[in-house]
Structure formats: structure tokens, C-alpha cells
Amino acid sequence: MALLRLCSFPKCLAGGLVAERNVRHLLNVEHCLLCLRNRNNYQRGMRDNPWTSQRRQYSAIPKKDDGNKRMWEQSHLLDVLEARIQQLQSDVLFDVKHSKVEFLKMPQRGKGPSPSKSQKTRPGDKTEKAGPSSKKGVTTDNPSSKTHTSRWFEKLKREKWNRTSKQSFLQQNVPDKLAKSNKKQQTMKSSKGSMMLPGSSMKSISAAKRSKPVTKQEHAKPAASPVSHSMPNASESPISEAIPVPEELSRDAELAEVEELEQMIKQWCSIGTEKVLEVKEVNRDADTQLSVCCHLEVCVFMGDVERAQRYLLFHHQNLFKRKTLTVNSYNIMMRMWAKKGSLHHIRQLFFLVEEAGLKPNVASYCAALECMGRNPESSSRVISRCLQQMEEDGLSVDDVFRQCVFRQDERDMVLKAVCTVRPDYEPSATTENPLCSLPLVKDYYTQREEVRYPKLDFSLADLQDRFKRQLDLEQANTITIDSVEAMKPVTENIIRMRKLLAEQRAHWQKNLLQALRDSKLILGKSKLRNWKTDIYPFLCVLRDEDYVNIMLQGLANLPPSGDSLLNMAKELGARVHNIFCIQQKSHNRMVEKLACIYNSYTELLAKDTKSSSVLPREQWNRLEVERSTGPSLLSDDMSWTHVLIIQLGSFLVDLLVRELKIQNNILNPAQEQKLIPALYHMYTFRSNRQIGFIKPHPILTQIQSEAMETKLTFDSYVMPMLCPPVPWTSPKSGAYLLTPTKLMRTVEGAIQHQHLLEKCRNEDLHAVLDSLNQLSSCAWKINKPLLDIIISIFNNKGSEKLDVPPPVSEAPEIPRFNPHDPSYTPQEKAHMKREVLKAKKKFGEMHSLRMDALYKLSIANHVRDEVFWFPHNMDFRGRTYPCPPYFNHLGSDVTRAILLFAEGKPLGPKGLDWLKIHLVNLTGLKKRSSLAGRLEYANSIMEDILDSADHPLTGRKWWMNADEPWQTLACCMEIANASRSPDHTKFISHFPVHQDGSCNGLQHYAALGRDVIGATSVNLMPCELPQDVYSAVAQQVEEFRVRDAAKGLKIAHVLEGFISRKVVKQTVMTVVYGVTRYGGRLQIEKRLKEIDDFPKEHIWDASHYLVHQVFSSLKEMFTGTREIQDWLTESARLIAKSGSTVEWVTPLGLPIVQPYHRTRSHVLKSNIQFLSLQINHDIHERPDTVKQKNAFPPNFIHSLDSTHMMLTALYCYSAGITFVSVHDCFWTHALTVDTMNKVCREQFVALHSQPILQDLSKFMLQKYCSGPVGERKNKKFLEYWKMMQLLAKVPETGDFDLHRVKESTYFFS
């Protein structure tokens, strides 16, 4: 197929032989490829290399010694296939792209028709002429484009999967033919009167892109409906044939409603079909196909050509395993042979592609051209023939340079080959740069002639130097920093333990290195029949010492209580993958190009260059286009599958457990010397499931604890970046320089999110990418005086009150008792066991919190004299997060307090007032007071503020009683410095001031429903004093309690005086995010337990009573909110019940899908144990209805609050102000708080001025209600009709004037 007919271009073939072979191919056009292949096997000699020999051994049936019998069986198989083709034409509707399925003419072999043959027209006669040629999906009579009949079975499954969407596409593109078809159907009504399904009425084979409609359609026996005259014309509505009205619902009003809905959906579908993205188009074998590609890529990377060849042929020759091969699998091998200039092997690979029923893509031709460019003996005739074949397949040379990812000198070699036959050819640069046209941001991108985006406070040379340091850090993969615990005095015992630990590690490193090499030797020689378990190549991509360091780093991070085998395996496997990706980029010579582009990119950011109206993303794209020569900056490396990473990690964990030994008398020489395992593999129960667990020996734990090591080793991506991050330009490119980073963080193994992002048009994601780039561009520095105070408390046994975790030495002692002691009664034994478990749990929690604080403080201390950046990405709802996991501004009160903006700005006339108001907000006091009241209160306590700043640990300690004590102390210090300056308006402040949304989830609900009462409760309506929804709910619950107490309800009397804002706040806050009554009861129970005076025996009854009252009061206060929430919940339930996951697109164009599916178990075999992976994101499993419906309302609201934040970020950037967010809490300098507040309110109004619910309804109707479903009496259709009615019925809204938000002082305050 395709290129090879490059089977005719090897240099050894004479021109006459080439012509003879081409003529023979044309003469045999009426014969199927299987017959030709078997016939030609006898004509070819055994002189071919092993590729050809092994390929010839393939047959559709097992080889037999009796040649006549084998030929008879092959002929019989052809008869069966031919009959099957005729049957499928009669029974199944096809709308197939040429690149996927083609009919072959079946030869008449002179023995008469098969008994199973139909008298209908054969598919090869006229159906192949269904449409003219086009760029893609061409249907021609070219014999080279015939595909193997074995492709039928795979393509049939794919067609069943996509039938609904393709039927809609067909009806929209060939309305004239449908109209003619419908007229024929009306004249052929059946007496049975059932509605005819589209799939049973006609068959068509259409190209992917048509310039003319289908010229021929075949008709089976049609059936007509007695109510078809009342339905809309099928040519007018894409779903009219699929939505007959059931007899039970055939009243006139309901008929009219259905018809109206169909007309609406017809209009929406005709306008925005391209926006409906199909997640289920993802191949069911995608994971396996990716694993195969990864295996081949790794083999090629390590230079093991023979293993790669055997692996590919192993899958190719097995019909069952062949489906795991894609054209990319063959392309990986083509690229390898192209490097060697072996055109002969490229030819053989094209043979295999054809035999597998696949079609070469642009990367295949790229490899062939590269090979020709490297081979000095390649003639211009061969290159011309290749380019001609590309054009016949609808591809161009420009496609090669525009779509392919080049490594090393590949681009130059391809260009050399092309210029051999086209001397004047130059790759055309991509000049198209479409702007985002979404209504919310259209003006942002089109009206910016006067806009000048802000610069960083760094020179060009400084930024370029920072890039070099960050590049060195990422290329080193890990970084070792000083621990803040090193400041403790060093004793003799600590020195002794550190020495013992260093000796043991040196010994372990030697043992692990030898064990790894021995294991690789065995794995490399073994002949594994199941290639899925072959991890040998993945153990060769790094140096052996790198694997050992990874294992020892995993050992150092293992907590004393141990960790699950699965977690350890994921950690070690992911670390290997990250290092491999970084090394691959260096190997591909991408680093040099990255340095060139980044150094030019810094001209946009540096303060000593001229200002510009170009966004960072646009500048980076422009630089990539300008420097298109050499390797591509975007890597096409395969992401290793989740299963593969765990499999590799579990192998490394097994090595650790087997090889790490320790002397049992290392701490007590008096004991008998004996080697014992340093790690134990055991089993434990978590959530009623037995899991494998890796636990360190107590001796090892004691040594590590007493050594109190002064060094900590982290992966490089854990640290903040030392230079501005690479701007996000696509879902695959952005954030770190070399470390692979996903735009959308997901559960390991989930692919549907990335699939949706890649299907989006680039311009539709511009606003999302630019907002992430704005958040990432903020430079930070450390508040060093405050950091020193926190470290001193950390090293002085911590403080639970101040959220500084104490060391585990302060944990309660674990009770020790002998369970076999007869002196204990059964009740006492049970009590003691509970106490032991409770103490162990407390110990584990304290260790976890302590290590978390140690990591954060140590990283902060390491960068105390640096300026740094946090690259950002987002979750599947669009909420943004910093990529560094430990130390960032989304952390606790401690980490937020020690972060300052690197850029300082003068306070200005109102800056000091905003600092004081911010201070009062941090204390949690005066929540019901006005801004003026809070400012007055701050001025009244200036003595306490100054005392806290001057004597934080020895003074009155007023700051310690605040809700956020450390941020309060930091603000006290800033106020003290500003008030003591000669002119506070000129004081340069680096302090971030926060503006927090007032129950932001309810704000979005109230705006969606235009609910006046709800809007007033959450400060959307201007008021003199802030409205506190939590206090309002608490007050209403108190009224309910008084009423019930008067009726004699006991629990109402018990709760007297205990109902407060704090008790109900968490439940009110999370109701909007989908908390259930059960979860709300647990929240209230926790709050009641914190009240010392509350009787503990009444906690359960009281929490049960209060959660009921909280839900009742919210229902009364937010009627519109409840209606919208119920509509979202019920919509998700019906969608999930129909077998689909809930999807939507945010107003900023971000596609979202809920990844909740029924859990399936995947058993993974490893040396240490069988691992059972619980996978709940497999798109081929049915959706989890409960999770889908419960999660939709909160996830939808989260997507709206992230949209509001992104809009605010974009417009703050164009206004030239610093902006950072923690979800619904916005940060900026004190000087620019008023500007940020104005932008925040304007963008909230702009967002909710869009028809959000109406657009959601249209999207869901178009996606879930625009395809055939079944017979009119079918239960499935009744559910479908009910879902269509519900999705179309958008909840009614109130009359709240949304523009009043702009006047609301306390909307964000």
C-alpha cells in the first residue's frame, strides 16, 4: 500500500523489473491481497532477509504440509469472508472513512457462487465509486489503496461504537439524499407499523470529507410508523428518525413538546456540531498500544535493534496481538532504520503496515524521506516516486515539516531529500495565528493596541543566568539541601548513628548494584513468551547507578510506619520515567534549541527592554516558528502507562526487600550476630481490603531517627523554579524546562482529559493557557525574619496551637501488653487493642505532619536568598494549582506567611489602610463590621500590633490568638515597618493582601438563579454592612431550636447556647459543593467535640438534629440554588444511567469530563506479589451513576469559579498589576487592591451575563439527545425521552439585577 510501491524502488532492481512488477500488480487488481500474497510467496526466493522470511510465514490459517489442502482451505476462507461482507452490507449501516475500511472486489473463481452468497450487488462493483477524491478519506480505484480483509473485524467494532455520531454527521452533510431516501421509505410502509431505525433502512459508505453527496444507497426492507406523519422531516432534524413518541405518551401536548425540542436540537446541531467531543472514540486497546510503542521506543533508545525487531514481529504475526500495533509502532522502527540509511528495511516495514491493514501517515513518509536524505545512493527518481505517492495519499511535503516532530538532524535530512528533486523548495512557515473568539475574551485579544504588559524586575542578563541555573538543576534530576533540623546541637550519639547509617548505605549500594546487574543478565537472556512482562529494556535506559540511587532515595523517604507496596512502586517507577524523559531530550539535542529560544524569550520579560503588547504564549510561538530549523522543541516521547510504571517500580521494590540486610546486633554488640532484612514485606488491611505493605525494621527506624540527618534529597521538580516558567502554548508544552508536566493533572492512567484537550482547536484554549501563564509569571521571595522564628519553634518541640508539628518524640507512648496474658478479661483485651491502634495512628499522623513541615521549611530555607517562581497547571475542573507539591502559596498558614512578592510597590495613599483591614480579616474578628469599622478597630489596637512585631515570642503574644496566627504576625511586621517609615505612602511593600469571596460557591449559584434573597445573603447585593451567610444560617437554626424546645424536644434543650457560626460554617460552605447529610453530620459532630462544655453523650443526636436544620434553613434561604442543584443532579443521573459520562465546556472553552466509572480490578503480576489495581477511570466501563450525579453540581460550580478567576487574572495582567489566586481568594499588592476589586466584579458580571445554563442545556441536548436509541416501546427510549425533556427544561431564574454586583463592597473583601 501507500509508499511501497516503494517495493519497486530498491536500487538493485532494474527498470524493466520495476515495470514488470507494476504491470503485474495492475493485472491482479481484481484479486484480494491474501490470494496474491500466497501466490507470490512461491515466486519469491529465500534470499530475502529475516524480515521478509518471517513475513512470508504469516498466513490467515495454520500452515499444512499438504499444499492442495491448504489452498482449498484458503479458498473456502475467501468464500466465507465474501459472504460475510454481503451479510454485513445487508444488515449494518456503514459510514466509513476510506482510511479505515474499503471494500475489495471478490474474484469469481469459476466454480460458481458460494451457497451463502446474496444476489445483491457486490461491493466492488459500484459502491467504491461513492464519492470523488479528496484530501483525506479518498475512495479511488487505485489498487495500491486496497486493504486486507482482516481489517473488517476491527473496523466493525469501531463502527458500532461510533454509529450514533456518524449517523448525525451523515444526515447533516447529505440532506438531499436523505430527503430522497425518506420519500422512498414513505412509499414502502409495513403493515406492522413500527418505526424504522436508520441502521435498518439503508447502507452508505462515505468518505471523511466529501465535496459531493453519496451517489448510491442500498435499501433493505423498510418499515413505517403509524405516527410518522406527525414527526418532523428526517432531513430537517438529525434526530427525528430516532425519537418516535411512545404510545403511552402520544397526547397532543407531549407530541408538540417533542417536536419543538427536536427542532431546537436540529438548529443547535447545525451550528455547533464541532463542539461536541466524543471521549469514547478512544480505542479500547489504547493502553496496550501505548505500552507496545513505549517498549519499542525504549529498545531503540538503548540501541537493541534485534530485540525491537523481534518484539514488533511477535505482535505482527499474531492476529490477536496485531490489534495492539498502530502505525506509530511501525514508525518507531522506520525512524531507527532511517538513521542507518537502510531503505531496504523501510520498504519491509511498509509491507508490514500494509499487511496489518493500516495506512502510512505523515511520520511514515518523513522516515522514508530522512532515510533517502542520509543514503547518498538514493536516486532522484526514487524520491520523486515517494513524493508522488504522498500526494496520492492526500499528504504534502509541507505537512511533513508542519506536523512531524524532528530529533537531532532529521529535519535537515528530510529537506536534503526533498531538495534533490525540488531544488527551490523551502518549508513554508505557519503564518496563521487565529485569535480566541470566545465572547468573554474576544475584546481582550482584539482590542489591545494601547496595552503594554508588565515586565519583571530583572535585567536580561540576570534572567538568562537564572535559566542556566534552572537547566542545570533539572538535568541533575535531584537536589540535596540542608535540613532545618541540622541546627540542633550535635551529640556523640548522633555522630555515631550517622556513621553507622553511612556505612550501611555504602554496603547497600554495592549489593543493590550487583543484584541489579545479575537480574538484568537473567532477564536479558530469558525468552519471555508474554512480552507484556518484559521490563528488561526499561532497566537499561538509565545507568545502573541511577537505578540504585532511585531505590535508596525511596528508602530514605519511607516513613517508620511503612508504606503500601503500590505507593512505593508508583514513586520509584515515576522517578525512572522522569529521568528517562529528561535524558531523551538531551539525546535529541533539544536542550540547545531550548536555550536559544528561552534567551530570546527573556527579551519580552526583562525590564531593560522595550515594552510590548505581545503575550508570553504568542512570543514563544513566534520564536519557535522563526527558529524552525534543527530539532523540534516539542517532544513526541511516549508517556509510559500507569501499569508499566507500577510494574517497573515493583521490580525495584522487590530488589530492595531482597537485598537490603542489616546486622541484628548493630545497636547491641552483646547479641549474637545475624543478618536480618532491613525491609519487610507484609500484608495489612485498609478499607476492608488486604494490601501489600513495606515496613522498615525497627533497628533501621531507630538508627534513622537518632541520626537526625542534616541533608534531604528531592527530585528537581519539587523545588520552585529559579527562572520564569516556560509559557503554556499547548496541552503538551509548558511549565518546567525539561521535566514532563501535564496541563491537566488527573488520576494515574486516565486519558480522557488529555484526549479532549488535544481535540480542541488551539485558539479555544488560548484564554486558559494565558491565565496559567499569568499566574506562573509571579515572582516570589522569602520573609526571612518570620522564617527564622518558625524554624526556632520547630526545633523547640513545635507548637500545635501555632500549627507547627511537634516531633514524634512527643507522641503518646504506645501501650504494651501481652494479649495471651490470662489476667486480662476479653473486655480489657479489646480495650487495650483499641488503645494500641489509637496510639499507633497518632504516631503515624504526627510523623507525617512533622515530615511535611520539615520539607516545607527546609525548601524555604534553601531558597531564602533567592527569587523563585511556581509553574502552574490545573485539575480536570479547571482549578489551578502550583506544580511544586510541598512548598507553595496554596499551603497552610505557615507557608503562606513566609511568602512575599519579589516585586515591591509603594503603598500609596490607601495601602496602609488595606494592610490594617487585611490584618483584621486574618484575625477572624469583626466579620460583621464594615471596612471602616475594621480599620477603626485596627487603629485601636496599634499597641498590640507593634508589640507583636517587635516581641513576637516574648511580648503580649496578641497575634497567637488569631485565626491565621503566622500570617497575622507577618502583617503586624509589615504594618510596623510601614508606619515607622518617614512617608508610609512611599514605603515599598512586598506583602500580598487578600480579598476573599463570601461563600463563593453560593455566590455563583445565586447569580445563576438571579435569586434576590440568596444574592443578598452572600453579598452580591450592595449593603452597608457585610452579610454573613454562616451567621444567618446559625440564627435561623437557633429559631428552629427554640421552636422545637417549646414543643418539648429533648435534644433542642441540650443544644441551648451551643449553636454558633463556627458549628454550622463548614457544612454551609460545603453544601454547595455536594456534601451529603451524612458528611454534614460528621462535620458538625467534629465541631461539637471541640466544645469542652458540650455533653459528649449527646453528640450523635445533636449532630443529626443540627444537620437536618441546616439543610432546611438553606432550602428556605436559597430556593433558586436548590432548584439548579436538583436539575444538575438529576441531569447527571439520567446521563450516567444512559451509559455516558457527564461532559461540558466552560465559558472559557475548557472541555471537562467527569472520570467516574465503575471500578474494575486489574491484577498485575510482579515478583514480590500480585498487585490488584482498582481502576475507576476506564472509559470502557459504565459510568458510576452515584458519583456522576453527586459530583456534577460541585464540579460545575468549581469550573465556574475557576473561569471567574482566570478572567480576573487575564484582565489584571493587561492592567499591569500583580495577581495570584488561591481558588476564590485573590492576592495582590496593597496599592492595587482597588483595581483588582474592580476587575474582579466586572468579570463576575461578564461571566454570569452569559447564558450559562442555557448553553449547558444546549450542549447536553446536542451531545446526549441527537442520535438513534431504539424502538418506540423500548424502555430505553422512555428513559431517553425523559432525559431529553429534563435537559431542555432549564430552571427558571429570578429578577436579581446582576450589575448590582459592581457596587457591592463586600462581594470580595
**Among residues 203, 916, 1065, 1189, which one is catalytic?**
1065
CA distance 298 to 333: 11
Q: Are strands 1143-1145 and 1151-1153 parallel, antiparallel or unpaired?
A: antiparallel
Q: List strand residue ranges (DSSP E) for 19-167, in order.
A: none
CA distance 443 to 1078: 46
Contacts of 391 (CB under 8 A, 6+ apart): none
**Among residues 409, 996, 1044, 1255, which one is catalytic?**
996
Q: Residue 696's beta-bridge partner residues?
A: 679
> Pseudo-torsion of CA 1262, 1264, 1267, 1270, nearest 10°?
-150
Burial environment of residue 1157 by CB neighbours within 10 A (0 to 12, 13 to 18, 19 or more): buried
Largest CA distance in the chain: 109
CA distance 1175 to 1181: 10
518 catalytic per annotation? no
CA distance 1229 to 1236: 9
Cα–Cα distances (Å) from 992 to 67, 428, 867, 1307, in that order, read: 84, 47, 16, 19
Contact 128, 141 (CB under 8 A): yes
996 catalytic per annotation? yes
In this structure, is the dihedral angle defined by the CA atoms of residues 197, 201, 205 and 209, taken in order, positive or negative? negative
> Cell 460583621 appears where?
928
CA distance 1217 to 1236: 8
CA distance 330 to 364: 8
User: How many other β-carbons are positioned within 10 Å of the β-carbon of residue 642?
Assistant: 22
Contact 602, 454 (CB under 8 A): no
Q: List strand residue ranges (DSSP E) for 1166-1292, in order.
A: 1171-1175, 1220-1222, 1225-1229
- State the amino acid at position 453 in one-letter form: Y
CA distance 288 to 913: 61
Contact 1120, 1291 (CB under 8 A): yes
CA distance 101 to 145: 11
Phi/psi at 48 (nearest 5 deg)?
-65, 160
> Cell 547497600 appears where?
508
Contact 1116, 1036 (CB under 8 A): yes
CA distance 1085 to 1102: 8
User: How many other β-carbons are positioned within 10 Å of the β-carbon of residue 1010?
Assistant: 18
Written as nine digits, the cell of 1167 is 515478583
CA distance 277 to 755: 9
Of 994, 1027, 1017, 1013, the closest CA to residue 928 belongs to 1027
Please spell the DSSP secondary structure of 810-837, one letter per residue: GSPPPP---TT-TTS-HHHHHHHHHHHH
1065 catalytic per annotation? yes
Contact 588, 407 (CB under 8 A): yes
Contact 1199, 595 (CB under 8 A): no
Of 22, 51, 30, 166, the closest CA to residue 101 belongs to 166
Contact 1100, 1131 (CB under 8 A): no
**Among residues 654, 1189, 1224, 1263, which one is catalytic?**
1224
Q: Which positions are catalytic?
A: 996, 1065, 1224
